Structure 1
Amino acid sequence: MEVSIESGFCSSTGLYCSKWGSPLLPQTPHLSLPSFLLSQISSKALDKPAFIDSKSCKSITYGELRSLTSSLAHVFHSLGIKKGDIVLVVVPNSLYYPLLVLGVMSLGAIFSTANPLHTRPELQSQIQDTNPNLIITTPEQRSKLDDRQSTRSIILVDDLMDTLLQYPRHHKTLGTEINQDDIAALMYSSGTTGKSKSVVCLHRNFIAMSCFLRHVWESEDGAFDDIYLCVLPLFHMFGLSMFVCGTLAVQSTTVVLNKYSLEDMLVSVEKYKVTRLPVVPPMVVQLVRLQDGVKGYDLGSVKEVICSGAPLGKVHMEKFSKCYPQMRLSQCYGLTETCGPITLCNGFSGMVHESIGGYFGDPNATSLAINKEGWLHTGDLCFIDKLGLVYIVDRIKELIKYKAYQVAPAELEEILLIHPDINEVAVIPYPDEAAGEIPMACVVKRGMSEVEEEDIISFVATKVAPYKKIRKVVFVDSIPRSASGKILRRHLRAKALTTQQPLQISSKL
Structure 2
Amino acid sequence: MTISTSNGFCSKTLIYHSVRPPLPLPLESTNISVTDFIFSVTTTTLASLIDATTRCSIPYSDVPHLVQNLTVSLRQPPLSLTKGDTAYIISPNSSYLPILYLSLFAIGVTVSPANPVSSIPEVSRQIHLCKPTVTFATLDSIHKLLEVGFGNPIVLIDSPEFESMMRVIKSNGNLAKIEVLQSDTAAILYSSGTTGKTKGVKLSHRNLISTIVGALSGRKPRSSSSPAVHLSTVPYFHVYGFTLCLRMVAFGESLVSIAKFDLGVMVRLIEEFSVTHLAVAPPVVVALLDGNNERLVSSVDWKSLESVASGGAPLTVAVINKFRRRFPNVSLVQSYGLTETTGAIARGASPCEGMIPGTVGRLIANCEAKIVDPNTGVSLPPMNHGELLVRGPFIMEGYVDDKEVIATMVDSEGWFKTGDLCYFDNEGFLFVVDRLKELIKYKGYQVPPVELEHILHSHPDITEAAVIPYPDEVAGQVPMGFLVRRKGSTIDEAQVKDFVAKQVARYKKLRRVCFIDSIPKNAPGKVLRKELIKLALSGVSSKL
TM-score, normalised with respect to structure 2: 0.87
User: Which of the numbers 69, 82, 89 marks the counterpart of 2:67?
Assistant: 69
Structure 1 residue 448 displacement after superposition: 3.0
Structure-2 change in CA distance of 1:293 and 1:388 (3 Å): same
2-side partners of 1:339 and 1:112: how far apart?
Answer: 14
Q: Does the 8 Å CA contact 1:9/1:15 hold for their aligned counterparts?
A: yes
What secondary structure, in the 3-state scheme, does the structure 2 residue paired with 1:334 have? strand
Q: Does the 8 Å CA contact 1:68/1:169 hold for their aligned counterparts?
A: no
Structure-2 change in CA distance of 1:177 and 1:17 (3 Å): same
Q: Does 1:293 align with 2:291?
A: no
Structure-2 change in CA distance of 1:158 and 1:237 (3 Å): same
Q: Does 1:89 align with 2:89?
A: yes
User: Which of the numbers 187, 194, 215 marks the counterpart of 1:185?
Assistant: 187
Amino acid at match of 2:465: V
Give deviations 1:33-56, integer Å, cap 9, x for gaps.
1111123343x42xx243011244
2-side partners of 1:146 and 1:312: how far apart?
Answer: 39
2-side partners of 1:189 and 1:2: how far apart?
Answer: 38
What secondary structure, in the 3-state scheme, does the structure 2 residue paired with 1:146 have? helix
Structure 1 residue 141 displacement after superposition: 1.2
Q: Does 1:314 align with 2:312?
A: no
Q: Does the 8 Å CA contact 1:32/1:106 hold for their aligned counterparts?
A: yes
Partner of 1:507: none
User: Which of the numbers 454, 457, 465 marks the counterpart of 2:494?
Assistant: 454
2-side partners of 1:264 and 1:170: how far apart?
Answer: 41
Q: Does 1:486 align with 2:526?
A: yes
User: Which of the numbers 200, 203, 210 marks the counterpart of 2:202?
Assistant: 200
Q: Equivalent residues in 2 for 1:256-271 (5 A)? A: 256-271=257-272
Unaligned runs of 5+ in 2: 361-395
Partner of 1:382: 422
Partner of 1:354: 358
What secondary structure, in the 3-state scheme, does the structure 2 residue paired with 1:21 have? coil
Partner of 1:428: 468
Q: Does the 8 Å CA contact 2:331/2:354 hold for their aligned counterparts?
A: no
Q: Percent identity?
A: 37
Structure 1 residue 296 displacement after superposition: 1.6
Q: Equivalent residues in 2 for 1:37-436 (5 A)? A: 37-42=38-43, 44-45=44-45, 48-78=46-76, 79-147=79-147, 150-159=150-159, 160-165=161-166, 167-169=168-170, 174-191=176-193, 193-218=195-220, 225-244=227-246, 246-289=247-290, 290-345=293-348, 346-348=350-352, 351-356=355-360, 357=396, 358-436=398-476
Q: Does the 8 Å CA contact 2:134/2:153 hold for their aligned counterparts?
A: yes
Amino acid at match of 1:309: G
What secondary structure, in the 3-state scheme, does the structure 1 residue paired with 2:180 have? coil
2-side partners of 1:296 and 1:491: how far apart?
Answer: 37
Task: Judge which range, 60-69 or 151-160, deviates more.
Answer: 151-160
Q: Does the 8 Å CA contact 2:110/2:187 hold for their aligned counterparts?
A: yes
Give deviations 1:238-293, integer Å, cap 9, x for gaps.
0111121x212221111111211111111111011111111111111111123443
What secondary structure, in the 3-state scheme, does the structure 1 residue paired with 2:337 have? strand
Structure 1 residue 162 displacement after superposition: 3.2
Count of residue pairs brought into register by the alignment: 500
Give deviations 1:283-328, integer Å, cap 9, x for gaps.
1111112344312211101111111110001110011001101101
Structure 1 residue 222 displacement after superposition: 6.5
Structure 1 residue 166 displacement after superposition: 5.6
Q: Does the 8 Å CA contact 1:70/1:171 hold for their aligned counterparts?
A: no
1-side partners of 2:165 and 2:494: how far apart?
Answer: 62
Q: Does the 8 Å CA contact 1:291/1:323 hold for their aligned counterparts?
A: no
Structure-2 change in CA distance of 1:70 and 1:254 (3 Å): same
Amino acid at match of 1:152: N
Q: Does the 8 Å CA contact 2:282/2:311 hold for their aligned counterparts?
A: yes
1-side partners of 2:485 and 2:543: how far apart?
Answer: 22
Amino acid at match of 1:75: S
What secondary structure, in the 3-state scheme, does the structure 2 residue paired with 1:92 have? coil
Q: Does the 8 Å CA contact 1:182/1:203 hold for their aligned counterparts?
A: yes
2-side partners of 1:218 and 1:171: how far apart?
Answer: 39
1-side partners of 2:172 and 2:289: how far apart?
Answer: 48
TM-score, normalised with respect to structure 1: 0.93
Q: Does the 8 Å CA contact 1:224/1:251 hold for their aligned counterparts?
A: no
Structure-2 change in CA distance of 1:429 and 1:73 (3 Å): same
CA RMSD of aligned residues (A): 2.2
Task: Judge which range, 454-463 or 362-371, deviates more.
Answer: 362-371
Structure 1 residue 165 displacement after superposition: 4.3
Structure 1 residue 502 displacement after superposition: 6.8
Q: Does 1:474 align with 2:514?
A: yes
1-side partners of 2:223 and 2:432: how far apart?
Answer: 29
Task: Judge which range, 82-91 or 147-156, deviates more.
Answer: 147-156
Structure-2 change in CA distance of 1:4 and 1:166 (3 Å): closer
What secondary structure, in the 3-state scheme, does the structure 2 residue paired with 1:474 have? strand
